[in-house]
Structure 1
Amino acid sequence: MTSPPAVRCTGLRHTFGETVAVDGLDLEIPAGEVFGLLGPNGAGKTTTIRMITTLLPARTGSIEVFGLDVTRRKMAVRRLIGYVPQQLSADGTLSGRENVALFARLFDVPRRRRGAQVESALEAVGLLADADREAKGYSGGMIRRLELAQALVSSPRLLILDEPTIGLDPVARTSVWERIEQIRADTGMTVLVTTHYMEEAEQYCERIALMHRGRIRALGTPAELEAEHGEGSTLDDVFRSVTGDQLDGGGIRDVRAARRTARRLG
């Protein structure tokens, strides 16, 4: 029997008033894949992710996560997902261990397994040695790794990362991705990531979808998309072609959120 894909979106549409954020999205992500969802601010990426994670209702179209309907099986879907949003979710007044333990309780990890899973998640992201320090003393890269631990403590089958390395220096970005790659290799989990760093998408994503104005405009491996655009092309070239040179966009809320996250990370 063929196993269902990690994510299947069919005819997905979402509006905010008269603004169409997602417009007839069809998307399928096989289990075990590292999939990049790219596009300028305002393209519909975060809205799509919020619907997949059940944080926004999917009123038009359908979403399945490992064969479970997101609308009908909301709680069951949530137990399969680990989510690191763009906005920071760690509490600086708590220690790293306390932050992860809080998420273990929120995700209803059984009490008898909670301590072991907190330890395992902290070890997976390389934070055991600093687990009992207050998170406000962590570097930006350590904060992002702590948020990974928070998302991993429930042993999710699907890890969703919305701009996981925004505001980080190149060394910290590499450190975060090395942890993601190792965890994925160890567990076989599916990873869905959004990023504005084209070199990250090219290096780490097996396939990429480029969104613009609520629709997917290009889909394939990085090499396929570059080849289709022309010899010597880069993902930056493909991005500009798909979005009409709109390398930025969205509203003031998008800009404020990105700047606030970058400032807090360092």
Structure 2
Amino acid sequence: MTRPSDTTAVEVRGLVKHYGETRALDGVDLDVREGTVLGVLGPNGAGKTTLVRCLSTLVVPDAGTATVAGYDVVREPRALRRVIGLTGQYASVDEKLSGWENLYMIGRLLDLSRRDARRRADELLERFSLAEAAGRAVLTYSGGMRRRLDLAASMIGRPAVLYLDEPTTGLDPRSRNEVWDEITRLVADGATVLLTTQYMEEAERLAHELTVVDRGRVIAAGRVDELKAKVGGRTLQVRPVDPADLPAMARALADSGLDGIAGSTVVPEDGLLYVPILSDEQLTAVVGLLATRGFGITHIGTHLPSLDEVFLAITGEKSSPAAGATAGSSNDSSNDSSTGTSTVEEVTA
């Protein structure tokens, strides 16, 4: 497996793009390290697709600079197109051709020899579990099969940098997982990926780092854990031996004067006390105080905000720590397009 490099594969500075009065990109800066996945998150209309179109030479930016794999996207578009791949929001394969014919045609357009184009088409059809359907017209493919074929087509030329613009939109969970597995293999082989998505689970599973875009601007950037830490830190979950002790535990904390402890929330139906904390020192202080007051504790855990909560908080709709801690699992199952995965550390007494 290839380890992420410190070399920058994509470097963007002050990128601006107008569509009439609309400022789709408003001075975007970002960096993507070689051999990593950068997840670009943002609501509809945030500028994600415009960014991809600029970086793939489909649209010329109005201002700013962008270098991809050592090539300037404005001055060297022809050379750049030979080292990048793109999967857009909608599959762009020829429905009248077979899956194999689609891949072979793209290989030849990329100047592969007939022999290499055939071998590459066979190889990718096998990798994407499409070998049995290779000779069938794409018109007969399911949505997931077309999506996998489209992703395979973007990889024919073994791109150094691959742009994936919401690649799993509309896919069923099984097809989505297959696409995720293939992206993981690509990066393990050394490819660099810029991934735009609205799926929180997708970003958390695939991305090494995240950039959040809104109204054409970068409003947050960093690793998943760093962004979670910016949105209120962790929530300490305490389960007493006797649920009747919950109110008394909350009063003890409220009267304690512990530095940085803003308050706690009792959720009787969970049998838990939720305490927002910002550091390990605060965690130790809370647990120590409850122990010295004689409360028996059967469970202690910490909950990081889900990426869903982080996204809503950064874009202006912040959830409370207790609400996130108690509602996270139900939100995950009820809305597949906004799934968040919580990080939980547990100590059970």
TM-score (norm 1): 0.87
Of 182, 197, 211, the residue aligned with 1:209 is: 211
Does structure 1 retain, via aligned residues, the 8 Å contact 2:6–2:33? no
Does structure 1 retain, via aligned residues, the 8 Å contact 2:25–2:47? yes
- Asked if residue 132 in structure 1 is aligned to residue 135 in structure 2, the reply is yes
Of 220, 233, 240, the residue aligned with 2:305 is: 233
Give the distance between the partners of 1:119 and 1:57, measured in 2 at CA: 35
Does structure 2 retain, via aligned residues, the 8 Å contact 1:95–1:133? yes
Matches within 5 A, 1:66-105: 66-105=69-108
Q: Report the alpha carbon displacement of residue 176 of structure 1 after superposing the two structures with TM.
A: 1.2
Of 220, 223, 229, the residue aligned with 2:222 is: 220
- 1:200 aligns with 202
User: In the alignment, residue 133 of structure 2 is paired with which amino acid?
Assistant: D
User: In the alignment, residue 207 of structure 2 is paired with which amino acid?
Assistant: C
Give the distance between the partners of 1:203 and 1:23, measured in 2 at CA: 28
Does structure 2 retain, via aligned residues, the 8 Å contact 1:38–1:211? yes
Residue deviations 1:19-49 (CA, integer Å, cap 9, x gap):
1000011111011001101100110110000
SS of the residue aligned with 1:6? strand
Of 29, 34, 42, the residue aligned with 1:31 is: 34
Does structure 2 retain, via aligned residues, the 8 Å contact 1:5–1:67? no
User: In the alignment, residue 204 of structure 1 is paired with which amino acid?
Assistant: L
Of 108, 127, 149, the residue aligned with 1:146 is: 149
- Asked if residue 243 in structure 1 is aligned to residue 245 in structure 2, the reply is no
- 1:64 aligns with 67
Give the distance between the partners of 1:171 and 1:180, measured in 2 at CA: 15
Residue deviations 1:82-104 (CA, integer Å, cap 9, x gap):
10000220122211001112222
- Asked if residue 42 in structure 1 is aligned to residue 10 in structure 2, the reply is no
Q: Which moved more, 1:226-235 or 1:38-47?
A: 226-235
Does structure 1 retain, via aligned residues, the 8 Å contact 2:143–2:171? yes
SS of the residue aligned with 2:152? helix
User: In the alignment, residue 124 of structure 1 is paired with which amino acid?
Assistant: R
User: Following superposition, which runs of at least 4 residues in structure 1 exceed 3 angstroms of deviation?
Assistant: none
Does structure 2 retain, via aligned residues, the 8 Å contact 1:141–1:176? no
Does structure 1 retain, via aligned residues, the 8 Å contact 2:36–2:187? no
Q: Report the alpha carbon displacement of residue 213 of structure 1 after superposing the two structures with TM.
A: 0.6
SS of the residue aligned with 1:210? strand
User: In the alignment, residue 12 of structure 1 is paired with which amino acid?
Assistant: L
Of 14, 17, 29, the residue aligned with 1:14 is: 17
Give the distance between the partners of 1:125 and 1:156, measured in 2 at CA: 17
Count of aligned pairs: 244
Residue deviations 1:82-136 (CA, integer Å, cap 9, x gap):
1000022012221100111222233232344221222222223222222111112
Q: Report the alpha carbon displacement of residue 3 of structure 1 after superposing the two structures with TM.
A: 7.6
Q: Report the alpha carbon displacement of residue 195 of structure 1 after superposing the two structures with TM.
A: 1.0
SS of the residue aligned with 2:8? coil
Structure 1 gaps, min length 5: 247-266
Residue deviations 1:28-81 (CA, integer Å, cap 9, x gap):
101100110110011011000000000000230111011211111111111111
- What's the RMSD between the two structures over aligned residues? 1.7
Give the distance between the partners of 2:227 and 2:109, measured in 1 at CA: 40
Does structure 2 retain, via aligned residues, the 8 Å contact 1:4–1:66? no
Of 180, 183, 186, the residue aligned with 2:183 is: 180
Q: Report the alpha carbon displacement of residue 151 of structure 1 after superposing the two structures with TM.
A: 0.5
The percent of aligned pairs where both chains have the same amino acid is: 45
Q: Report the alpha carbon displacement of residue 171 of structure 1 after superposing the two structures with TM.
A: 1.4
Say if 1:3 and 1:243 are closer, same or farther in 2 by CA, change over 3 A: closer
- 2:8 aligns with 5
- 1:54 aligns with 57
Give the distance between the partners of 2:183 and 2:230, measured in 1 at CA: 29
Higher relative contact order (CA 8 A, sep 6+): 1
Give the distance between the partners of 2:129 and 2:28, measured in 1 at CA: 37
TM-score (norm 2): 0.67
Q: Which moved more, 1:128-137 or 1:37-46?
A: 128-137
Give the distance between the partners of 2:114 and 2:14, measured in 1 at CA: 40
User: In the alignment, residue 104 of structure 1 is paired with which amino acid?
Assistant: G
